[in-house]
Amino acid sequence: MDLDFFFKPNGIAVVGATKKMKGGYAIVVNLKAGYKGPIYPVNPRYDEIEGLACYPDIESVPDPVELAVVFVPAPAVPGIVRACAKRGIKGVMIESAGFSETGPEGAALQQELKDIVAETGIRVWGPNCVGLVDAKNRHVFSFVSPAIWNEGPIPGRVSLVVQSGMLAGGFLVDTMSHGTMGVSKVCSIGNKADVSETDLLQYLLSDPDTEAVAMYLESIPDGRLFTRLCAGAKKPVVVLKGGKSERGAAAAMSHTASLAGNGAVVSGALAAAGVTEAVDFKQMMDLSRALAMVKNPPSSGRVAVLTYSGGAGIISTDFLYEQGLSAATLSGGTKEALARVFPEWMPVNNPVDLWPAVEKNGAGPVYTAAMEAVAADEGVDALLLHVYIGGLALTLDPDHMAAVAKKTGKPVFIWLIGEAAGARNFHLKAQEAGIPVFRELYRAVECMAAVFHQARGKRHAPLPDASAGPAPSGDFSFLERSGVLDEYDAKKLLAACGVETVAEAVADSPEKAAALAQELGFPVVMKGLAPGEVHKTERGLVTLGVASGEQAEKEYARLSGLVGEKGRVLVQKQAAGGPELICGMFRDPQFGPTVMAGLGGVYAEVLADTAFGLAPLSEDAAVDLIGRLKTQKLLDGFRNTPPVDRKALARVLTALGNLAVWFPRVSQVDVNPLICVKGKPVAVDATVILE
């Protein structure tokens, strides 16, 4: 995506520049402080601002000019954008507020901007944003008060995209002024009338100054393109999604759709694309700086913990396992090497409590020896160091430590506490040398885990690798109806798509019911299918354990009475086994067709343990999806239940995804329950909802 004219424009016009101590003044001052190209203030009331020639209107601005930064009242903005387009300006960054965030009038103005973009091809950034900062090039295209830029932003390797303007500004200031993290580009994208998170992601993924992208987003309108970019990205992406607890507006007739609330679809799509999901603001920054600093870690996460406190070592171990990492088992050779710096009485194990050794031989030599010893161990993938600064015989030199860390060639993470000034000094130096430092132990482990999981999580792009292939042939005339298909037709459709369904047939008389039951083998299940009914159990339309021909005849009479002339009666083999699953498909407003899987009934609904992925879904991606269920242990066989064939289960999910592609009129599908009979999933009941 060529958005260079936003990031390194050849010439900038500032529409709304002023000499008053307001945003329009700050933009000019900020530009002058770092931007090397020509700056053209535009305001009919001035001839010059800050020593720069000021122009009455955009038409009179001389060449070269590629970008206009606009900070005037909202109603004047559309006219200015038109003039910019006419003038041949490529991009407009609208920092004024007063658009769709303010109600119908503002929304109309924003629509006008979109129309101009569509007509003229000019690109619009914002409105209602705080602009753009490029720390490396010292570009500050923002009305944010110049005071904070006095020392210049600290350049780093993480680029930030933030939808909320206030948060973008606030976070930038917080991060910069604390000094413990640099950033590359910070993009506040506001109302996203045109330039979107997806555009910027594409740009930043190919930006040589960006090693990781962190994004705070309240909406991801083109969820599919966004996740496709993430899945294909060679750089780590961290996303904090706001408003996940707000349910989508989609009518949720199926379980699948109703389980999709609480951001489960977003989380599923992001996880499948290898995105690290953040839950809080500072945590997002911590995750992204760790990901930007530690690249290409080994594939497993066996961690050696070096500590000055046995207790903190033990708590670290708890955290490692909680986060899906493990405590490395040290080899005999490593233990021998460590024993050389330890007092004799001290047993050496991971976590390695260095304190007795430090008392004997001093902190510097002991930390160095221990780092070298554990890093040389083939069973160790990364080091977690506990560092205390501020006396207590634990003085450590960050430069020396960084040199040792570098030599080891393995990722080193530091948990740091201590006397404020000394600790800060150590923090800054270690960070500079490429060692991520954290002030809370849990955060350190969380970030280590993110680095390892991110490296592992990039295998199965949900798109465009997967393809549904050709649609099945057959008589699907029932799909021309609308509303709810009955269970029999629903399963006919599933079977055609490759899902194994339970043996069953429709009975049209009591005698036929008895004969079918005999044929299927007792006990059977009998169901009354009434048009449009999706709550059969609750309406008394499901009878389990029908054990004789006589009972089948009676049930036929009862059920056919209940469902009436338009209904029908189904006789079905009674599937037994376990575990029970629920799976389905629905169309998400942002992410399109989406497949869901979860453990059955109680698990899915009470524990809300479900996983979502975008359709079409390759078999590998479906296996991954299953692996994201928290209760997946239940699939591995329990007491007398055989383990579930995960590949067979994955094929059901793939089939559901394909179904979504092949039959666009199908809006929602529930397979509930999907019972595993001797480990093989069989669809026992299903609901299909047509557009």
Which residues in 471-510 contact a copy of itself (CB under 8 A)?
Answer: none
CB of 323 to a copy of itself, least distance (A): 12
CB of 153 to a copy of itself, least distance (A): 13
**Judged by CB under 8 A, which of 1, 53, 253, 314 binds a copy of itself?**
314
Contact 527/559 with Cβ under 8 angstroms?
A: yes
| # residues near a copy of itself by CB under 8 A | 78
Query: Residue 217 or residue 660: which is nearer to a copy of itself going by CB?
Result: 217
Running DSSP on this structure, what letter comes out for residue 189? Answer: -
CB of 104 to a copy of itself, least distance (A): 8
3-state secondary structure 635-664: HHCECCECCCCHHHHHHHHHHHHHHHHHCC
**Judged by CB under 8 A, which of 39, 312, 337, 596 binds a copy of itself?**
312
CB of 216 to a copy of itself, least distance (A): 7
Helix or strand run (H / E) with residue 86: helix 77-87
Helix or strand run (H / E) with residue 442: helix 441-456
Residues 239-268 that bind a copy of itself (CB under 8 A): 240, 242-246
CB of 282 to a copy of itself, least distance (A): 5
Given phi > 0 = left and psi -120 to 50 = alpha, else beta, which region is 402?
Answer: alpha
Say whether residue 218 binds a copy of itself (CB under 8 A).
yes
- Distance between CA atoms of 527 and 567, rounded to whole angstroms? 10
Give residue for tokens 């993430």.
230
Site string for a copy of itself, 367-406 (x = CB under 8 A): ---------------------x-xxx--------------
Say whether residue 20 binds a copy of itself (CB under 8 A).
no
- Distance between CA atoms of 659 and 653, rounded to whole angstroms? 10
Query: Residue 240 or residue 260: which is nearer to a copy of itself going by CB?
Result: 240
Q: CA torsion 367→370→372→374, rounded to 10°? A: -140
Site string for a copy of itself, 178-207 (x = CB under 8 A): xx----------------------------
CB of 683 to a copy of itself, least distance (A): 19
- Distance between CA atoms of 131 and 299, rounded to whole angstroms? 39
CB of 154 to a copy of itself, least distance (A): 12
**Judged by CB under 8 A, which of 141, 171, 367, 612 binds a copy of itself?**
171
CB of 175 to a copy of itself, least distance (A): 9
DSSP helix/strand/coil, 416: strand
Say whether residue 634 binds a copy of itself (CB under 8 A).
yes
- Give the number of other CB atoms < 10 A from CB of residue 541: 22
Query: Residue 38 or residue 146: which is nearer to a copy of itself going by CB?
Result: 146
Residues 514-553 that bind a copy of itself (CB under 8 A): 537-538
Q: CA torsion 568→574→578→582, rounded to 10°? A: 0
- Distance between CA atoms of 434 and 403, rounded to whole angstroms? 10
- Distance between CA atoms of 463 and 454, rounded to whole angstroms? 18
Of 47-55, 197-205, 343-351, 549-557, the window that binds a copy of itself (rule: CB under 8 A) is 343-351
Q: Which two tokens stand for residue 510?
A: 């009591």
Say whether residue 437 binds a copy of itself (CB under 8 A).
no
Say whether residue 640 binds a copy of itself (CB under 8 A).
yes
**Judged by CB under 8 A, which of 37, 310, 434, 549 binds a copy of itself?**
310
Nearest alpha-carbon partner for 334 in 302, 372, 374: 374
**Judged by CB under 8 A, which of 315, 339, 471, 690 binds a copy of itself?**
315
Say whether residue 577 binds a copy of itself (CB under 8 A).
no
Site string for a copy of itself, 280-309 (x = CB under 8 A): xxxx------------------------xx
**Judged by CB under 8 A, which of 118, 279, 403, 544 binds a copy of itself?**
279
Contact 400/440 with Cβ under 8 angstroms?
A: no
Say whether residue 108 binds a copy of itself (CB under 8 A).
no
* Cβ neighbours of residue 139 closer than 8 Å, sequence gap 6 or more: 7, 8, 34, 35, 132, 133
Q: How far from chain centre, in Å, is Cα 425?
A: 34
Say whether residue 106 binds a copy of itself (CB under 8 A).
yes
